[in-house]
Amino acid sequence: MELTLLFDPRLGVDTAAMARAWARAPELAGALAGTPSAVTLRSQSYLPDVVEVVLIPLAVNLASSALFEITVRLLCRQRPQTNPSRVRVGASELDGGRQMITVEEDEPTS
């Protein structure tokens, strides 16, 4: 199974650092089937431009809630200024049983 993490550009996520964080996350020991990697994709379907993503090969199927929690925790470690209550995480099923998680930041309310 492969997990694709797609980050809202407004978050300013360093995808290479995020891939390394996933590789070192103790809560994922034994769950990875390989090394997470950061890639740049040119999307025609879900976003109209170049997209930075992290690809995570998983050996086991993890619940979406666990993936959401891990993603937000690693994001907040990488970017301490991130307010976790403003991070929205969603999941989509892609072809071949792959999962995609989108990570966005809510606009501040005035």
Q: pLDDT tens-digit profile of 52-69?
A: 678 888 877 777 788 888
Give me the mean pLDDT over the 46-53 stretch.
58
**Among candidate residues 5, 9, 10, the one with its CA nearest the CA of residue 21:** 5
For the cut 60, the answer to whether the pLDDT of residue 43 exceeds it is no
What is the per-residue pLDDT for 2? 82
Whole-prediction pTM value? Answer: 0.76
Q: Which sequence spans correspond to the domains of the chain?
A: 2-105
pLDDT digits (tens, 9 = 90+) for 9-20: 778 888 888 889
Rounded percentage of the chain residues whose pLDDT exceeds 70: 85
- Counting Cα atoms < 13 Å in the Cβ hemisphere of 72 gives 15
